[in-house]
Amino acid sequence: MLFARKVWHLLVAIKDGLVLLFMLLFFLGLYAVLTTRPSAGVVRDGALLVKLDGSVVEEPEPIDPLALLSSRTEPARQHRARDVARAIRAAATDDRIKAVVLDLSSFSGGGLVHMEEIGAAMDTVRAAKKPVLTYAVGYVDDGVLLAAHASEAWVDPLGGAFVMGPGGNRLYFGPLLERLKVTAHVYKVGTYKDFVEPYIRDSASEPSKEARRALYASLWDNWKADVAKARPKADITRVIADPVAWLKSANGDAAQASLAAGLVDRIGTKVAFGDRVRELAGADTASNRPGSFAHTNVAAMLAAHPEASAGKSVAVVTVAGNIVDGKAGPGIAGGDRIARLIDKANADDAAALVLRVDSPGGSVMASEAIRTAAERFKAKQRPVVVSMANLAASGGYWVSTPAQRIFAEPGTITGSIGIFALIPSFEKTLAQYGVKGDGVRTTPLSGQPDVLSGFTPEVEAMMQAGIENGYARFIGLVAKSRNKTPEQIDAIAQGRVWDGGTARQNGLVDQFGGLDDAVAYAAQAAKLGDNWHPQFYGSSANPYATLIERLSGDEENGSDGDGAPGSDLFGIMAERQKVQVAQGFASLQRLIGTRGAQAYCLDCPVTADRSGAVKADESWLVALARLLGA
């Protein structure tokens, strides 16, 4: 009987093993089918379709396929700015491409520098005598800028183009924390280092407003100048001077008002827009859907026009997103991960290094890990160059200090040279419920820092001394990099942010130019002649990308029917309200989530992951409870 039982258990085990094997083979086969790109590298006669359904970023974050399967909503897509611009530029010289189409129906924006880069690529196509068309339901600033570079900008009859301008309010939690008896211990250096102000004040300080006014004014002027140059007939002044009168002049019809102001060229549904593209680029023989047209997507365009790979390599390492400790990323600048990429380029004997920085800063320790890795590369007598995108402030400038030359754009936000630390304690909160701490110390540091019973004066003084030392180190690094004295740097530091133009004037930036200019300069500095190519480290394609695209929706179709997938004015306002609320609670969460000395920029646009400023599975009530129960 025992023998029969053992045989039975063996047969069951064999059966279970075979089932698992066949299931594994099935899912491997399914994955292979879903990730196959039969059209990769094949450019069809027709239009280049650039479907910006999401945001444009310097470095997209990977999508977790398991999180996607368990999520109730589709994750926001992110499009690499460099890829979008390169695909559009390639269309200018590819005879198979008759027109370029930007579908902005679900476009959620990007940084000014990226928008200008894509706009310049659109101008290249128009200079090649090829039409460039855009379509959206609701254009907002970033979309308006792209539409300005189009030969035909279309808007849905139910939509419109709206100019908001930079700026706005942020939440200040000082009175709330005081009411809750939460003590925010702030240690900082810099008159303009205002990142901590929301936790200790009820409004912005005058130095903070002064810096913000100057920054926003410069960015706003750059935006208006770009739009005016690309679309001289656009009456921006009329739209922003009295938006109510402008809208009422068209009886509240935003589409007609946008047309009258020259922000768009034509009004029509998405089907009508697709029919127009079909006239220019040809019909889609594989689809008979209304509004369909022959097209090639960005991925196929890039595959058909690969980047050069001959000659010596100039390494390009991206520092994008918040700078954090550890291996996080891409899309988040994990200090250890980026340092390893730089060391890999160093071990590969890359002829030069270009750091592409698009970050508002973050952890001082992580920033220092990246900086020292760049110094190790530089120690081998090879050029290190920095290319700043939208943001290179605080920790983003810290990592830039090894550069022998810094490139930026007029719309780049940089500077914010200063550091801080922020730690909450709850001794007053507990005391109002009769809970107090007591004990015996052998030294003033025993049991410190104590977030439940309070900090000793010695700990407070030591914390501030540490931050002051960190600031002195920061301005020392910048002074050495910029060939100035620490006193000269201190005068333009103090945590103040600068636009790229002013930063060039005060010596924090060397010259204007994009990533291509920085790479070309690095190659010249390395004396490579014309025999070189850029090699991008850490930007390999996501192996799950196509699977995720197909699971989450249509990845390349030119028309989705006669519907209006974007948003009208009310939808735009609702979305901005949602983002504002999420950012507010994200700021509140930072009070208990900050670790160690930080070099962040308050005036920089908020960077968030695909799920937004607050975790997708965490409501604002949970976020508040987490803070109050910390």
| pLDDT tens figures, 389-432 | 999 999 999 999 999 999 999 999 999 999 888 888 899 998 99
Which residue carries 């500095």 as its tokens?
A: 525
Please confirm, yes or no, whether 151 is among the known catalytic residues. no
Q: Report the C-alpha gap between 252 and 268 in whole angstroms.
A: 17
Output the CA–CA distances (angstroms, integers) from residue 583 to 208, 298, 576, in the order listed.
Answer: 19, 32, 10
The pLDDT of residue 63: 75
The pLDDT of residue 245: 96
Q: Are 245 and 252 in contact (CB under 8 A)?
A: no
The pLDDT of residue 53: 92
As given in the structure block, the two tokens for residue 399 are 């990592």
Domain boundaries, the chain: 1-36, 46-163+231-304
Which of the following is catalytic: 98, 130, 188, 193? 193
What is the H or E stretch that residue 160 is in?
Answer: strand 152-161
The pLDDT of residue 538: 87
Please tell me whether the peptide bond between 424 and the residue prior to it is cis, using omega within 30 degrees of 0.
no
Q: Report the C-alpha gap between 252 and 242 in whole angstroms.
A: 14
Q: Hey, what's the torsion of the CAs at 583, 587, 588, 593, to 10 degrees?
A: 120
Output the CA–CA distances (angstroms, integers) from residue 356 to 39, 308, 385, in the order listed.
Answer: 31, 19, 9
Give the ranges where 385-532 is alpha helix by DSSP (H).
395-398, 427-431, 457-482, 486-492, 500-505, 515-525
Q: Is 20 exposed, middle or buried (0-12, 13-18, 19+ CB in 10 A)?
A: exposed
| pLDDT tens figures, 36-53 | 444 456 889 999 999 999
The pLDDT of residue 611: 45
What letter would DSSP give residue 173? Answer: -
The pLDDT of residue 567: 62
The pLDDT of residue 573: 60
The pLDDT of residue 5: 65
| pLDDT tens figures, 146-197 | 999 999 999 999 999 999 999 888 889 999 999 999 998 888 888 888 888 9
The pLDDT of residue 45: 92
Q: Are 533 and 311 in contact (CB under 8 A)?
A: yes
Q: Alpha-carbon torsion 273, 277, 280, 282, what sign?
A: negative
The pLDDT of residue 498: 95
SS3 state at 505 = helix
Taking 70 as the pLDDT cut, the residues of the chain under it are 1-13, 15-16, 19, 26-41, 64-75, 539-630
Please confirm, yes or no, whether 193 is among the known catalytic residues. yes
Q: Report the C-alpha gap between 328 and 343 in whole angstroms.
A: 17
Which of the following is catalytic: 394, 425, 453, 567? 394
pTM for this model (two decimals): 0.85
The pLDDT of residue 41: 61
Output the CA–CA distances (angstroms, integers) from residue 588 to 41, 115, 406, in the order listed.
Answer: 47, 30, 34
Kindly state which CATH superfamily the domain 46-163+231-304 is placed in.
2-enoyl-CoA Hydratase; Chain A, domain 1 (3.90.226.10)
What percent of the chain shows pLDDT beyond 90? 63
